[in-house]
Chain A
């Protein structure tokens, strides 16, 4: 289903577009590599369709329940990301932060609206092509549980390279360079269960950046870490991303994490609340 059809469905079922409290911020002089327009996500409708058609995820129809009963996870959100830009996505729990990140990364297909990466509509791509895009152009850092517990650190980093077609030797050589860069050479043969939380996140960052992605999506990357370690991890992520020219989208509750980014957007009840330059860090935070 195209985005035009999605929007038409939405209008047809009476779920009128909500007023937009904040306009999307467009960084001056930079062409966006990732752009979202009118993103709307209705999980209730998606689940209803999944039950009817056994579809796990996919293009979802418009809402069939009143908004008051079933609020939209995303409600007509516009977003643009320039190459090399760093953006924090903030907002209270349930405001739609992770949903936005998943929609931008092509993990879920929104009920309405479109996400374009370098001009190509993600929803129009076949699933295999979207998966390839996530494998080659995007990197991911999650709060935890991302590393495979059976693989030593070096192979965890080498895995996406091998999935992209690199041989074992080449992939592990590159992975070793990343470990050295992050001062983790000694951990090459260690498995995630034998590492600290901070070490695991560093390895996860190396894994995300090893494929030289255009965009790194980080969902609460410091959520399971103490403030000092979190700051170190964010510093490493930003510096490494800058080094490879990758843009970064970070979902966080923490203003100190957001302070590492050049721009912050805030979501509330699935709507864009504000979009502008990043906040100043709170006491103890660092930029």
Chain B
């Protein structure tokens, strides 16, 4: 039997098992990731078009391709200090930066979805091996599953991108709203996104499957995984200390070439995220270990042991919030710049004022997208996790555990890592930004924006996780006949 036939055998209509449910979740995650990515890409595309003399990409890349007279008119605009065109290239740079920032949670979400696609298949795949399927067939079956879900999700994501477009067209940048033509990324970009999401899912699923040895006798019994090593914390503290020192002594960078200055700037933005990624699983495990030493009730004990069972999974569930915290930090700093750049009496359409205001709006938009990505990622992963635990929790309910205790255990299982990551990411972000933006970040507006942004993302992720808990818990307790 070919792998494709096997795959069709398992994908007949009417499947409502756990694997089918996780497949739906994974598809939703792929769809959300693709829709948000395309929307942000649409923004970049719009700014590129606006930065082009005749509003075509060809003209931006090659002046000879410009429409007759367009280049001259553009140069004339650039010479006018009251024309916002002078900032057009900077808009493209900032939009691209936001896009790069969002690639991280996008890849994380797609990876989570792929892992979800590959999970809950142990039993079925082991049974297939017992029935004579080869390891290659079993691997290909999982890869097909993940790729199929990614493809479906990405196609739904395109629909989501088109549906979101009218809302984005309401936004004003450079004192004018976006048009559909500016936001439309074109068919090649859509195809590339669909292919990219599918390939990403395929790679992630195969990587996830490599860690599970599926033999005809099933998968190996769960063993204690080593907790994240302490060296991560040591490296984190050392690098953070060096970075803070360097940023506080900017004269060290005097005399650097322009290219090196850009490298330093990029490092300044990338460093907090890299550092928190390095230490995330360790710090979540450390917090859970401390709470597991003397848990205050059964729900806390269950939650902490679940976290310690796989701290990396717990960290991955909430890692999206770390980026959202950094974006909130950058947004609050830029908000401060906007406030300082608008002395009294400045005209409302002053290009500098419009530019700084747009940076603030862009920052908030990036923050909103980062928050939504984090919430979807957390919700999907948590729902998958609850479905995975269904048998254990069902057994606990048979033994008389009340649903409220289990709900609380699931809640604490998300809340503890989430709060830990927000505190660490927030502190890390402030420490690194302080030497540069101390003046900006002490303004009440900046503080409100930072705290408000973090709180909003925190709430969004919590709502995502709670909704996922409710839905998944409802699914997992529906009647199963377990008689002789």
- Chain A contacts to B: CB under 8 angstroms: 43, 46-47, 50, 55-57, 73, 93-99, 102, 105, 107, 128, 131-136, 138, 140, 142, 145-146, 148-151, 155, 158-160, 162-163, 168-169, 191, 193-194, 251
List residues of chain B with CB within 8 A of the CB of A96.
Answer: 483-484
Q: Which 10 A-B pairs have the closest CB atoms?
A: A134-B400, A135-B400, A162-B298, A98-B484, A56-B479, A150-B305, A150-B309, A193-B222, A99-B483, A193-B221
List residues of chain A with CB within 8 A of the CB of B372.
Answer: none
Instruction: For the complex formed, measure the closest distance between the CB of B273 and the CB atoms of chain A, giving whole angstroms.
Output: 29
CB nearest to A95 among chain B residues: B484
A94, A134, A135, A148, most chain B CB atoms within 10 A: A148
With A95-B484, A149-B392, A193-B222 as given contacts, are A131 and B479 in contact (CB-CB < 8 Å)? Answer: no
List residues of chain B with CB within 8 A of the CB of A162.
Answer: 297-298, 301
List residues of chain A with CB within 8 A of the CB of B482.
Answer: 98, 102
Q: Is the CB of B402 within 8 A of A128?
A: yes
Q: Is the CB of B484 within 8 A of A93?
A: yes
B395, B399, B478, most chain A CB atoms within 10 A: B399
In Å, the complex CA distance between A95 and B398 comes to 21
In Å, the complex CA distance between A142 and B391 comes to 13
Tell whether B274 is near chain A: CB-to-CB under 8 Å: no
Q: A-B contact count, CB below 8 Å?
A: 97
With A93-B484, A97-B484, A142-B395 as given contacts, are A136 and B224 in contact (CB-CB < 8 Å)? Answer: no
Q: Is the CB of B309 within 8 A of A149?
A: yes
Instruction: For the complex formed, measure the closest distance between the CB of B406 and the CB atoms of chain A, giving whole angstroms.
Output: 10
Name 30 A/B residue pairs within 8 A (Cβ), A-sorted: A43-B481, A50-B479, A56-B479, A73-B483, A93-B484, A98-B482, A99-B484, A128-B402, A131-B402, A132-B402, A135-B399, A135-B401, A136-B400, A140-B399, A142-B395, A146-B395, A146-B399, A148-B396, A158-B301, A159-B301, A159-B302, A160-B399, A162-B301, A163-B298, A163-B401, A168-B294, A168-B295, A169-B294, A193-B221, A194-B223
List residues of chain B with CB within 8 A of the CB of A150.
Answer: 302, 305-306, 308-309
In Å, the complex CA distance between A211 and B381 comes to 35
Instruction: For the complex formed, measure the closest distance between the CB of B339 and the CB atoms of chain A, giving whole angstroms.
Output: 49
CB nearest to A155 among chain B residues: B301
Tell whether B296 is near chain A: CB-to-CB under 8 Å: yes
List residues of chain A with CB within 8 A of the CB of B397.
Answer: 131
Instruction: For the complex formed, measure the closest distance between the CB of B356 and the CB atoms of chain A, giving whole angstroms.
Output: 51
List residues of chain B with CB within 8 A of the CB of A107.
Answer: 398
Tell whether B477 is near chain A: CB-to-CB under 8 Å: yes
With A47-B479, A102-B483 as given contacts, are A145 and B391 in contact (CB-CB < 8 Å)? Answer: yes
Tell whether B405 is near chain A: CB-to-CB under 8 Å: yes
Q: Is the CB of B484 within 8 A of A163?
A: no
Instruction: For the complex formed, measure the closest distance between the CB of B259 and the CB atoms of chain A, giving whole angstroms.
Output: 50
In Å, the complex CA distance between A74 and B302 comes to 36
List residues of chain A with CB within 8 A of the CB of B402.
Answer: 128, 131-132, 135, 163
In Å, the complex CA distance between A55 and B402 comes to 18
List residues of chain B with CB within 8 A of the CB of A155.
Answer: 301, 305
Q: Specify which of B221, B223, B294, B305 is in contact with A148 (CB 8 Å cutoff).
A: B305
List residues of chain B with CB within 8 A of the CB of A47.
Answer: 479, 481
Q: Is the CB of B298 within 8 A of A159?
A: yes
Given contacts A73-B483, A135-B402, A138-B400, 16 further A-B contacts (CB under 8 A): A47-B481, A56-B477, A102-B482, A107-B398, A128-B402, A131-B402, A134-B399, A145-B395, A146-B395, A148-B302, A148-B305, A150-B306, A150-B308, A151-B302, A155-B301, A159-B302
- Number of B interface residues at 8 Å Cβ cutoff, please give it: 33
List residues of chain A with CB within 8 A of the CB of B296.
Answer: 168
- Chain B contacts to A: CB under 8 angstroms: 221-224, 294-298, 301-302, 305-306, 308-309, 391-392, 395-402, 405, 477-479, 481-484
Interface of B is mostly: loop
CB nearest to B480 among chain A residues: A56
A140, A149, A160, most chain B CB atoms within 10 A: A149
In Å, the complex CA distance between A95 and B222 comes to 34
List residues of chain A with CB within 8 A of the CB of B306.
Answer: 150
In Å, the complex CA distance between A57 and B298 comes to 26
Instruction: For the complex formed, measure the closest distance between the CB of B462 and the CB atoms of chain A, giving whole angstroms.
Output: 23
Q: Is the CB of B483 within 8 A of A98?
A: yes
In Å, the complex CA distance between A169 and B293 comes to 10
Instruction: For the complex formed, measure the closest distance between the CB of B249 and the CB atoms of chain A, giving whole angstroms.
Output: 47
Instruction: For the complex formed, measure the closest distance between the CB of B295 and the CB atoms of chain A, giving whole angstroms.
Output: 5
In Å, the complex CA distance between A57 and B221 comes to 31
List residues of chain A with CB within 8 A of the CB of B301.
Answer: 151, 155, 158-159, 162, 168
List residues of chain B with CB within 8 A of the CB of A191.
Answer: 222, 224
In Å, the complex CA distance between A56 and B21 comes to 18
In Å, the complex CA distance between A149 and B221 comes to 10
Instruction: For the complex formed, measure the closest distance between the CB of B93 and the CB atoms of chain A, giving whole angstroms.
Output: 47
Q: Specify which of A50, A73, A132, A169 is in contact with B400 (CB 8 Å cutoff).
A: A132
In Å, the complex CA distance between A251 and B155 comes to 52
Q: Is the CB of A148 within 8 A of B484?
A: no
Instruction: For the complex formed, measure the closest distance between the CB of A255 and the CB atoms of chain B, giving whole angstroms.
Output: 17
In Å, the complex CA distance between A138 and B395 comes to 14
List residues of chain B with CB within 8 A of the CB of A131.
Answer: 397, 400-402
List residues of chain B with CB within 8 A of the CB of A73.
Answer: 483
With A149-B392, A191-B224 as given contacts, are A133 and B400 in contact (CB-CB < 8 Å)? Answer: yes
Instruction: For the complex formed, measure the closest distance between the CB of B236 and the CB atoms of chain A, giving whole angstroms.
Output: 27
List residues of chain A with CB within 8 A of the CB of B395.
Answer: 142, 145-146
List residues of chain A with CB within 8 A of the CB of B392.
Answer: 145, 148-149
List residues of chain B with CB within 8 A of the CB of A193.
Answer: 221-224
List residues of chain A with CB within 8 A of the CB of B295.
Answer: 168
